[in-house]
Chain A
């Protein structure tokens, strides 16, 4: 398997623009997570899905952020409008159905977002 695939790897945009980050989880994994990493705040959980259904979005910073999972093989994280403080590395991770695993998270390589 190719692992978790994220795109774009790098994104530079201007304040006020819409940003869409994409994630393809590992095939067969039931859980999908979005994390954000900054020097100041470390690695923060934004939202996670189980079987395409959002389970917990309490980490989503504000209404400018939204995440969707229209099917088992694709998820998006959208920021509209973007602000400089959104600059960070955004990671997507997936995990198999819980009963058959230890809860191991498989991370993608991340999308580095810079908002000017």
Chain B
């Protein structure tokens, strides 16, 4: 399983764009990149997943460069309710070992007025 590295914490103001970069230098060919969000006292929630280039949904965008050794989760115009821990996971979703995906320490994002 690919090891991931992401910043421990990030601070932002309301209305700004927040970009969280995750490093995964030993990503394998079949690995996908998945991001989860966790609010206090709640379980993690799936945000977005991608394999290469760019993926966008109603919550966030995920940018993956050609070498796939890193990825950036972009949260546009954050609000106070975006204060949460964000986890980057990397793993092969096509084999039975996908269930062993591990959550790292995550990035604590704090949004202030």
Residues of chain A whose beta carbon lies under 8 Å from any beta carbon of chain B:
4, 31, 33, 35, 42-45, 48, 50, 55-56, 91, 93, 95, 98, 102-110
Bin chain B's interface residue count. Answer: 20 to 34
Q: How many contacts A-B (CB < 8 Å)? A: 61
> A102 to B50, alpha carbons, bound, how many Å?
9
Residues of chain B whose beta carbon lies under 8 Å from any beta carbon of chain A:
32, 34, 36, 41-46, 49, 87, 91, 93, 96, 98-106
Of the listed residues B91, B98, B106, the one surrounded by the most CB atoms of chain A closer than 10 A to its CB is: B98
Measured CB to CB, the nearest residue on chain A to B95 is: A98
A42, B106: Cβ atoms closer than 8 Å? yes
Majority secondary structure, A binding face: strand
> Residues of A contacting B100 with CB < 8 Å?
45, 48, 56
> Residues of B contacting A109 with CB < 8 Å?
41-43
> Residues of B contacting A93 with CB < 8 Å?
43
Measured CB to CB, the nearest residue on chain B to A3 is: B43
B105, A42: Cβ atoms closer than 8 Å? yes
CB distance from A39 to the nearest CB of B (A): 11
Measured CB to CB, the nearest residue on chain B to A91 is: B43
Q: Sample 5 A-B pairs with CB under 8 A, ordered by A number.
A: A33-B99, A43-B103, A44-B103, A93-B43, A98-B98
